[in-house]
Amino acid sequence: MSASPDLPPVVERAFAVSRRAGYVSFCRNETGRLLAMLAATRDGTMAEFGTGCGVGTAWLRSGVRGEKATIVTAELDPELARAATEIFHDDPLVEVLAANWSTLMDKGPFSLLFLDSGQSDGRLAGDVSVEAVVDLVEDGGIVVLDDFTPCESWPPIAYGRVDVLREQWLTDERFTTVEVMVAPDASTLIATKR
């Protein structure tokens, strides 16, 4: 995937780093623009669990206004974390950690938390359940989960079975959650903690 000429400079750098690292799994531009818009509404600490080469973090950073917000992101693969660090090496508002996302638990609560649902291949990429992250988000904070396939049925079906993760987020009373189609073949859940 090539970068579009209308991408923010930090996102263009992230795409270049991803290409050099041979990493092709990253957040879509449609989701990225949504992340940038949401980041523009946040102060405090934002986080991404599962940095990859930093494209999602770059989209978050492109939306940050002023210096009242910071971003911390964790990537388990040390080579990918090193690549992401290259993008933000001189940015005091972004911290990239080569670590499991659980190391960020003491850095919250977060005003915005970006998670990969892991559902692009039908498998979960770790525990992104409501229960696993509810205490990591401040009251009024936002959780964004991407990589869902749009579904119009209830209960939601994905890969021939009930999508328990999506159902859980859409019905948990601690969050107000909406599914937003970001492209004809992709949707994202946006949840605000009550």
Both structure tokens of 150: 């749009």
Q: Tell me how far apart the alpha carbons of residues 70 and 93 are, in angstroms, rounded to a whole number.
A: 5
Cβ-proximal residues to 99 (8 Å cutoff; 6+ apart), any chain: 74, 75, 76, 81
- pLDDT tens per residue, the chain (194 residues)? 444 558 999 999 999 988 888 777 678 899 999 999 999 999 999 999 888 889 999 999 999 998 889 999 999 999 999 999 999 999 999 999 999 888 888 888 999 999 876 654 433 445 778 888 899 999 999 999 998 989 888 988 888 888 899 999 999 999 999 999 999 999 999 999 99
Q: Tell me how far apart the alpha carbons of residues 39 and 189 are, in angstroms, rounded to a whole number.
A: 15
Domains and CATH numbers, the chain: 27-193 (3.40.50.150)
